[in-house]
Amino acid sequence: MGRFFVGAAQRIIRGTPLYYVWVVFLLIMIAIGIGAYVKQMRLGLIVTGMTSYVSWGLYIGNFTFLVGVAAAAVLLIIPAYLYDFGPIKDIVIIGEALAVSALLMCLMFVTADLGRPDRAWHLIPGLGILNLPRSMLGWDIVVLNGYLFLNLFIPGYILYKAYNEKPVNMKFILPFILLSIPWAVSIHTTTAFIYNGLAARPFWNASILAPRFLASAFCSGPAMIILLFQLVRYYTKFHVKNEALFKIAEMIAIAMAINLFLLGSEFFKELYSDTHHLSPLEYLYVGLQGKGRLVPWIWTAFTFNIIAFVIFLIPYTRKRFVTLNIGCVLIIIGIWIEKGMGLIIPGFIPATLGEVWEYAPTLIEVLVSIGIWSIGALTLTVILKVIIPIELGEFTRTTKMAA
């Protein structure tokens, strides 16, 4: 074990100049983020743009988006383990590394949003009180931590065997792999239910919310994975077949089609019935009572999503890396807006007694968020730096490290 840590540490410390630039850049961003967070801790959430009208903002928006990214790891597990779809199998572990980083960011975003993180121990069953089965937030904490465990345990086990140059005992690990599939669905569904269950907020209180969450998660998460694999392939000897990437892109097209269909259904219901439940949607897409800070954002998201959908739908553009990558970037931004601020903020507008009170994140919120994203990116970088050599068989118990 000691040998492993020494070897891993050496691999993390050594790298190309570009690697050092990247890590130092992330560390600076993290330091700034921590500085901003210290200030938030000292003065209270007053340094954020949140109010008693719009009581959740950028943090919870990012949280929601990242739960989707984490859940998307199933997309790789299903075909890879169950159908033994060759090309994907090699790379599933990297997908799970992405899931782990995304989950860490989720937990940090929730913590950043908490007014009293010093009392987070109140959430620990036994020591504190976790309000189960009633609180959806309680459930979300359970399923997120369970998912984090699974995504650490499964690749951990496989890599441990690879490191020790022993075969994987599939009988032992398969039940965990099977379990992780419904679990991935559950983290995203439970997160949707946090909002979905609130009758006070008609914008969220629609049964379509959970399915839409899943559909959009299957767009953004895999898009990130396509980009990540290309980077990994470029910078290491790790091999990923084009075929696998195109397969993932195909799945994104299907998920996006479902997402757009559900959006259309939502629009029809609200527009045709034309009740007061239309107001949040109005606020989001055209503005309400002269206020419409989110309008340009949501139309950007809408346009990006449509363009990306077309790119992924047509085999010609899907199979060209230039267009494929443009599509991925567009879809990540599009879903980030739609599922982040575009979902959270209109839930609060108009407020429950009818007022239209807008929200905009402050610099502090933006810096803290960038800090958390940087911690996530650094985590991912470090994990990949260790596990890729193991996957490649370059880093095992018997490898000699240069002194």
Partner 1 sequence: MSKEELEKSGRISELQDTRGSGPTPDEVEQKELIDRRMFFQGAAGVLATMMLGSCSWQEFFQNNFRRMTKGEIEQTVERLKAEYKQKYGKDFVVGTEGPIDATLFGYALDLQRCIGCRRCVYACVEENNQSRDPQIQYIRVLRFKDGEMDLEHSTIYYDPEEVPEKGHYYIPVQCQHCANSPCTKVCPVQATWTEPDGIVVVDYNWCIGCRYCMAACPYMGRWFNFAEPVIPADKVNVNTHYLGNRPRMRNVVEKCTFCIQRVRKGRYPACVEVCPVGARKFGNLLDPESEISRIIQTKRVFRLKSELNTQPKFYYFFSI
Q: Which residues bind partner 1 (CB under 8 A)?
A: 31, 34-39, 41-53, 55-56, 110, 113-120, 122-123, 128-131, 134-138, 141, 194-195, 197-201, 276, 279, 347-348, 350-355, 357, 362
Return the number of the residue (128 or 264) whose C-beta is nearest partner 1: 128
Amino acid (one-letter) located at 22: W
Return the number of the residue (137 or 254) whose C-beta is nearest partner 1: 137
Return the number of the residue (48 or 180) whose C-beta is nearest partner 1: 48
Tell the smallest beta-carbon distance from residue 344 to partner 1 (Å): 9
d(CA 192, CA 213): 7
Return the number of the residue (199 or 322) whose C-beta is nearest partner 1: 199
Tell the smallest beta-carbon distance from residue 122 to partner 1 (Å): 4
d(CA 72, CA 352): 34
User: Do residues 295 and 287 make contact, with C-beta atoms less than 8 angstroms apart?
Assistant: yes
Return the number of the residue (135 or 325) whose C-beta is nearest partner 1: 135
| Six token digits for residue 106 | 């989720």
Show the CA angle centred on residue 253, arms to residues 225 and 94, nearest 5°.
15
Q: Among 149, 151, 152, 135, which Cα is nearest to 190's?
A: 135
d(CA 227, CA 378): 16
| Other CB atoms within 10 Å distance of the CB of residue 147 | 24
Tell the smallest beta-carbon distance from residue 206 to partner 1 (Å): 15
Tell the smallest beta-carbon distance from residue 54 to partner 1 (Å): 9
Tell the smallest beta-carbon distance from residue 352 to partner 1 (Å): 5
Return the number of the residue (15 or 146) whose C-beta is nearest partner 1: 146
Q: Which residues, 6 or more positions from 339, have their beta carbon under 8 angstroms from its beta carbon? A: 61, 64, 65, 68, 213, 216, 217, 220
Tell the smallest beta-carbon distance from residue 181 to partner 1 (Å): 26
